[in-house]
Structure 1
Amino acid sequence: MTPGDTTVPTITGPLDTHREQSALVVEHLVTHGTATRSELVNATGLGRGTVAGLTARLLDAGVIRESGDAHGDGRSTPLTLAGGDRVLVTAHLALDDAVATVASLGGDEVARFTEPLPTPSAEPPSSPLTPLAVVLSRAIARAERSGHRVADVSVLVDGAIVGSPAVVIMDARFGAEPVDVLGGLRATVPGLAEVEAALPLPMRMAPAAGAAAGVELDALPGIADVLHLDGDVSVAAAAIAAGQPLRGAHGLGATFGHLPIVPGGLRCRCGQQGCLATVAAPEVVLERAGLAGYAATDGRAAALEELVLRIHEAEDRARWAWLDAAHWIGRTLQVVVPTIDPAVVVVGGYWAGFVGDIRSAMQGNRPSVGNGAISAIPVFSPASGGLDAALVGARRQARERLVADPLLLVG
């Protein structure tokens, strides 16, 4: 597994087959709360004998419990997850706010906390780590007040996650240089050390784009290869190949915004020249559209809404600011798409409303062989996961990590 990887290890061997089958049972109970053995047979596709053996072992291990009186051969006795009272805490830097949520193991959100992010012009300059620590503290406190044990703490970032211990680099909020986000939170969030010591698995940092890409993949039946793009917080991307996140050997896979695509372009804060981020980052497009002041006073979300409105109204400055960005996004895709060959390019954020412009920018210089057969691939699709796609995806990743080894939910 690569540094910061969030995928579940490949399962092989007889013992791991039992673990995989147990995960199917536990996943159903996490999602549906209770189920009888007969319902588990129908839901998982496993045989009755297999389900009987699995549930017996899970009962003995304390992973599940019977939630009603046993009668007959036990097939109609409701079973429930013994650790079902646990919750998932997820933190993220959204457009204008730090956000932390508390959710059930099944992913149902039960509480949300927000704290405004410092403005870029704030004096003295303030780190986004401060509001992130505030909302994370509130979420953990909420879990403790309600008597729920925390099963997972995940922090989403927009940059690349590299190294061990993991640090974030090339992040729109934390900067280009390496930042130990988790270390900073451990130092500033009261009680986090105690919570982390009781977690079944270590607190983790995950790419927001990758979490959102997983949600989009679920909405595309039969598709296993997706490239997800987003341009709201930063120029971000995530790739999924054969159903698994493509992180690369060093965590740098799909660092879309820092591909040096503009010949003789501006120096990027990452140190390269001509990165896509220098011509397509949201702050760049807003500046060129004359909306930088709007963003400073009303926030990034409102400014992007105004940008979209002006583009649709064919306001010259906004339209040309966007078309220039779309041109370079398309040029970048001309490099990336043949390299990873996704079946679908999913476009999120405000870019989703202009999928046609991005597609046209890419396909304007595609191969003409086979009567242009290659020019029509891949398919382009606007994202469907909404503003919370990254949070939803992170919760799913957390649940998958826990369910992959059901014994983690004991105690």
Structure 2
Amino acid sequence: MSPRTGRPADVAGVRGQNLALLVQDVRRHGPTTRAEVSARTGLARASLTTMVPELVTAGLLRETPGTAGPRGGRPVAPIVFDGSRMAIASVEITVSDVLVETADLAGRRLRLDGAPHGRPLGDPDAVVAVITTLLDDHTRTLRELGVDLGMVVVIMPAPLAGDPPVVLASSDFEWRRFDLLAAITALRPDLAGRCLLVNDANMATIAEAQALGDPGSPAPADVVYLKSLTGIGGGVITGGRLVTGNRGIGFEPGHILVRPGGRPCVCGRHGCFIAEAGPEAVLGDAGLSALAGSAGISVAVAELVERVRGGDPQARSAVASAGEVIASVTLDIALTFDPARVVLGGYWADVFDHLGLPQTLQLGDDSFDFAWAAPEDGFIVPGRLGARAARIGAAGHAVEQLLGTPLWLSNFMS
């Protein structure tokens, strides 16, 4: 066959598309039979007879014990998604540490650990060195387990933009337009083309929105996520899609103006959401500024949560004041995006019952009753996933990228 016809590439492309279609269908609907897959996808049953065993051998699918049909005959062996021989490494950069969690494609955790980076302001290469050292350790562990590292997804608490994305700016680290992926792959060339860079709040938004669903009830298609730990972040899902905006910074709630003329903000204005209800403001009101300065914001926030739970009046008052601001922002968000749920993550989920959120918000003479008395049915609810939310969302995003890429699947199976 002449290479000028392009037919070999066409055949490989079709094969990859069929493999991707098959794997994604089984992942969504398994356990399922070949006949059911064929009916849903349009793939010929003869093709499935060839592709399923190949994917089983590759560790992407698994056949379960078969059962005979109602009329007897050959047992039907349902197939399920496996993914045990390929892993995703989720690298989360926090204000104090780098955390790396590796899990197989089905979400089974294989290893989780981290290391402090010392927060070297203006020196991203020092953080990159910590990242690659941890990735080296995880790669060795995966080899010992007989698992391949399929993709690395780096989770950054900062606005990102570009294709491939770069860190636009980070006030936590004093970075400006830094190409984090290029720096990582310069030290780990084997990861070139296999790294993603994502925003932490966006990934947590996806994960927490999906966590709202139950087996008999799908997750709502319109969700807003707000979280606070070392700052304030968030994300919006509308119509089932994450809002990213023109430059990838579609929802940065920290600088929503809530109190004109209020506390000064690092952006130069006064009364921004983060200035009024961010961790530094709340910690100051709770009498924990000194601890934040000496031990770091993460340690101080953990102490704040413990004091609130222990009944400390100053800590509870500080959190309740933040709750008033959160309620005001939530009203603006409700009027802007009309979400089915607003999820509060970070430490706000830990102190949710002490935020003092009213059951009714008012705008003029109109009353918006969100029935917050029953969190499982309410409008504002605490996050369910805790500190792992961003890593869970990032890993799921990476798996979707891998399994939805026909070329990758075709190469992996060759």
Q: Shared topology, TM-score over 0.5?
A: yes
SS at match of 1:249: coil
User: Percentage identity across aligned positions?
Assistant: 24
Q: Find the counterpart in structure 1 of residue 394 from structure 2.
A: 394
Q: Is it true that 1:220 corresponds to 2:219 in the alignment?
A: no
Aligned residue type for 1:58: M
Residue 55 of structure 1 corresponds to 48
Counting only pairs closer than 5 Å after superposition, residues 172-251 of structure 1 correspond to structure 2 as 173-175=172-174, 177-187=176-186, 189=187, 192-197=188-193, 199=194, 203-221=195-213, 222=218, 223-251=220-248
Q: Kindly indicate whether residue 104 of structure 2 is the aligned counterpart of residue 112 of structure 1.
A: no
Q: Normalization by structure 2: what TM-score?
A: 0.76
Cα 1:178/1:290, change in 2 over 3 Å = farther
| Contact 1:259/1:276 (<8 A) preserved | yes
CA deviations on 1:211-261 (whole Å, 9 max, x unpaired) are: 222222222233111111111132011111122111112212120112233
1:365/1:99 Cα in 2 relative to 1: closer, same or farther (>3 Å)?
same
Q: Please state whether the residue corresponding to 1:228 is helix, strand or coil.
A: strand
> Are the aligned partners of 1:246 and 1:254 in contact in 2 as well (CA < 8 Å)?
yes
Task: State the distance in 1 between where 2:16 and 2:124 align.
Answer: 51
Greater shift after overlay, 134-143 or 251-260?
134-143
Q: CA deviation at 1:165?
A: 3.6
Partner of residue 278, structure 1: 275
User: Aligned partners of 1:28 and 1:51: how far apart in 2?
Assistant: 19
* Aligned residue identity for 1:380: I
- Correspondence 1:306 to 2:303: yes
Name the counterpart of 1:6.
Answer: none
User: Which of residues 324, 338, 341 in structure 2 aligns to 1:344?
Assistant: 341
- DSSP-derived class of the 2:348 partner: helix
Contact 1:118–1:126, Cα closer than 8 Å, also in 2: no
What is aligned with 1:329? 326
* Matched residue, 2:161: 162
- Equivalents in 1 of 2:235, 2:338: separation in Å? 13
**Does the aligned pair in 2 maintain the 1:87–1:148 contact within 8 Å?**
yes
Distance 1:176 1:326 in 2: 31
> How far off its partner does 1:92 sit?
0.2
SS in 1 for 2:192: helix
Give, in whole Å, the separation in 2 of the partners of 1:261 and 1:284: 14
CA offset at residue 115 of structure 1? 0.2
Partners of 1:48 and 1:368 in 2: CA distance: 52
Distance 1:160 1:75 in 2: 53
Question: Could you say what secondary structure the match of 1:212 adopts?
Answer: helix
Partner amino acid for 2:238? Answer: A
Q: Secondary structure at the match of 1:159?
A: coil
- 2:3 alignment counterpart: none
What SS does the corresponding residue of 1:387 show, helix, strand or coil?
Answer: helix
What letter is aligned with 1:157?
M
Equivalent pair of 1:235/1:257 in contact (CA under 8 Å): yes
Matches of 2:43 and 2:196 in 1, distance apart?
34
Question: Under a length normalisation based on structure 1, what TM-score does the superposition of the two structures give?
Answer: 0.76
**Cα distance in structure 2, aligned partners of 1:284 and 1:296:** 13
Q: What secondary structure does 1:388 align onto? A: helix
> CA distance change for structure 1 residues 40 and 342 in 2, over 3 Å: closer, same or farther?
farther
**Matches of 1:356 and 1:82 in 2, distance apart?**
39
Q: CA offsets, 1:84-131, max 9 Å, x none?
A: 5221111002464210122111111111231024168x9999954443
- CA shift digits 1:312-353 (9 cap, x unpaired): 455343233323332322222232221111100111122114
The answer for the alignment partner of 1:39 in structure 2 is: 33
Alignment check: 8 A CA contact 1:89 1:153 kept: yes
Counterparts of 1:105 and 1:125 in 2: how far apart (Å)?
30
Aligned partners of 1:123 and 1:20: how far apart in 2?
42
Amino acid aligned to 2:254? G
1:259 aligns with 2:256: yes
C-alpha distance in structure 2 between counterparts of 1:291 and 1:263, whole Å: 26
Decide whether aligned partners of structure 1 residues 362 and 149 sit closer, same or farther in structure 2, where only a CA change above 3 A counts: same
The residue identity in structure 2 corresponding to 1:396 is G
> Equivalent residue for 2:11?
none
**Residue 360 of structure 1 aligns to a residue in which SS?**
coil
Q: 1:87, 1:151 within 8 Å by CA — same for their partners in 2?
A: yes
The equivalent of 1:91 in structure 2 is: 91
Cα displacement string for residues 268-288 of structure 1 (whole angstroms, at most 9, x for unaligned residues): 334554322222222332233
**Aligned with 1:155: secondary structure?**
strand
Q: Is the 8 A contact 1:65 1:81 kept in 2?
A: no
Contact persistence 1:226–1:241 (CA under 8 A):
yes
Q: Distance in 1 between matches of 2:171 and 2:140?
A: 28
Does the residue aligned with 1:152 lie in a helix, a strand or coil? strand
Task: Flag the 1:147–1:358 CA change in 2: closer, same or farther, 3 A.
Answer: same
> 3-state SS of the aligned residue for 1:178?
strand
User: By how many angstroms is 1:51 displaced?
Assistant: 6.5
Deviates more, 1:157-166 or 1:81-90: 81-90
What CA distance in whole angstroms lies between the structure 2 residues aligned with 1:163 and 1:361? 40
- Matched letter for residue 206 of structure 1: V
**Counterpart AA for 1:399:** V
RMSD: 4.0
2:316: which partner in 1? 319
Identify which range, 279-288 or 231-240, moves more after superposition. Answer: 279-288
> Relative to 1, partners in 2 of residues 1:105 and 1:123: Cα closer, same or farther, differing over 3 Å?
closer
Rounded to whole Å, the distance in 2 between the matches of 1:375 and 1:264 is 30
SS of structure 2 residue aligned to 1:248: coil
